[in-house]
Structure 1
Amino acid sequence: MKLYRFLTDDDTSVFCHKVTAALNKGWVLHGAPTYAFDAARGVMRCGQAVVKESLGEYTPETKLGDH
């Protein structure tokens, strides 16, 4: 099955560590990162899509972070 996740966080090192952790678990970057201003909170937010091929069959109950 092919899995997709969209990782987001504030523009801090926490976001970079989240993406790095996914890459080290076999996820692959998909597309360019995004960067947007969250006016309600007054902070910049980052996002990055990642994909991964995994064994098994996808269901809505699949816990993507466990793969």
Structure 2
Amino acid sequence: MKLYRFLTGPDDATFCHKVTAALNKGWHLFGSPTYAYDKKTKSMRCGQSLVKDVEGQEYRADTKLSDW
């Protein structure tokens, strides 16, 4: 199965750690990161798409992506 995730977070080290953790679980960057201003919190937010191929498994709607 092919999995897709979009991670978001504040522009700080926690976002980088979140992406790094996913990369270390076998996820791969997909496309360019995004960066936008959040007017409500008056802060910058980051986003990054990730994909992962998992052999021998079938995707289901209740698949918990963070488990992979």
TM over 0.5: yes
Q: How does 1:48-59 map to 2 (within 5 A)?
A: 48-55=48-55, 56-59=57-60
Root mean square deviation of aligned Cα = 0.5
Amino acid at match of 2:60: T
* Whole-angstrom CA distance in 2 between matches of 1:64 and 1:32: 20
Q: When the two structures are aligned, how many residues end up with a matched partner?
A: 67
**Alignment match, 1:12:** 12
**Alignment match, 1:62:** 63
Displacement of 1:14 after TM fit? 0.2
Instruction: Note the alpha carbon deviations across 1:20-62, whole angstroms, 9 max, x for none.
Output: 0000000000000000000011000000000000131111100
* Whole-angstrom CA distance in 2 between matches of 1:53 and 1:65: 14
Q: TM-score w.r.t. structure 1 length? A: 0.98
Q: Greater share of strand residues, 1 or 2? A: 1
| Structure 1: tracts of 5 or more residues without a match | none
Runs ≥4 residues deviating over 2 A = none
Aligned partner of residue 32 in structure 1, secondary structure:
coil
Amino acid at match of 2:46: C
| Structure 2: tracts of 5 or more residues without a match | none
